[in-house]
């Protein structure tokens, strides 16, 4: 058992890597050791369209919810050391927010392991997914860019139009 210290496709990224190691003939102990080394390199972040669902789940205050709605603020949530923290707060229309998320990855493109990258989302319009896909592929040569729906837990806590980018950072 490995604590991924992550969620959603961050866990999936590690599981797929473990499966690849297994197909290469590695034994369980070797796979375990290799995956343990990958855990701190998983980069997961996502933007939330509305704080309504975080508020209903008791994860933000009514003032935070109101301010986010009134000023069109969309927080970027980062999974760091197994804890979700608020990163940048993007302001404005959807396209500007998506571009902000995209830039958080493309400015670090030299550190992105290009073997596999996920765009994971919850009831997000396809044009939003396409925007991120095209933006990533125009800046980074990615071998396998996966478009994955988030599970019901992420959808329930974060709400529709939550979208994130998950990848491994190079050593």
Q: Is residue 24 part of a domain?
A: no
pLDDT digits (tens, 9 = 90+) for 150-166: 988 888 889 999 999 99
Give the CATH number, domain containing residue 137. 3.30.1180.10
Q: Is residue 88 part of a domain?
A: yes
What domain range includes position 152? Answer: 45-169
Is residue 40 assigned to a domain? no
Model's pTM, two decimal places? 0.93
Counted domains in the chain: 1
pLDDT at 151: 83
Average pLDDT over residues 32-49: 97
* Helix spans in the chain (H): 9-23, 28-38, 52-56, 62-70, 94-106, 126-139, 152-158
Query: 121-142 pLDDT, tens per residue?
Result: 999 999 999 999 999 999 999 9
Q: Per the domain annotation, does 34 fall within a domain?
A: no
The count of other CB atoms within 10 Å of the CB of residue 123 is: 13
Mean pLDDT along residues 10-35: 98
| Half-sphere exposure at residue 157, Cβ-oriented, CA atoms within 13 angstroms | 14
Q: Which two tokens stand for residue 98?
A: 């998506």
Whole-number percent of the chain with pLDDT over 70: 100
β partners of residue 166: 44, 118
CA-CA distance, 106 to 138, in Å (whole number)? 10
Strand partners, 91: 73
**What's the rounded mean pLDDT across residues 97-105?**
98
Mean residue pLDDT of the chain comes to 96
Assess contact for 75 and 89: CB atoms under 8 A: yes
Q: What integer pLDDT is reported at residue 11 of this predicted model? A: 95
Strand partners, 150: none
């Amino acid at each position: 058992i490995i604590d991924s210290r992550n969620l959603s496709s961050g866990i999936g990224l590690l599981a797929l890597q473990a499966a690849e190691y297994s197909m290469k003939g590695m034994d369980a102990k070797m796979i375990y050791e290799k995956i343990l080394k990958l855990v701190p390199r998983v980069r997961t972040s996502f933007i939330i369209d509305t704080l309504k669902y975080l508020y209903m789940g008791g994860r933000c205050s009514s003032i935070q919810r109101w301010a986010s709605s009134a000023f069109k603020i969309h927080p970027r949530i980062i999974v760091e050391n197994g804890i979700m923290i608020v990163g940048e707060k993007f302001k404005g229309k959807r396209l500007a927010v998506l571009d902000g998320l995209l830039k958080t990855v493309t400015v670090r493109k030299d550190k992105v392991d290009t073997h596999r990258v996920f765009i994971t989302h919850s009831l997000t319009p396809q044009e939003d997914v396409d925007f991120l896909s095209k933006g990533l592929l125009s800046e980074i040569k990615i071998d396998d860019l996966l478009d994955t729906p988030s599970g019901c837990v992420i959808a329930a806590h974060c709400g529709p139009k939550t979208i994130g980018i998950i990848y491994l950072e190079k050593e």
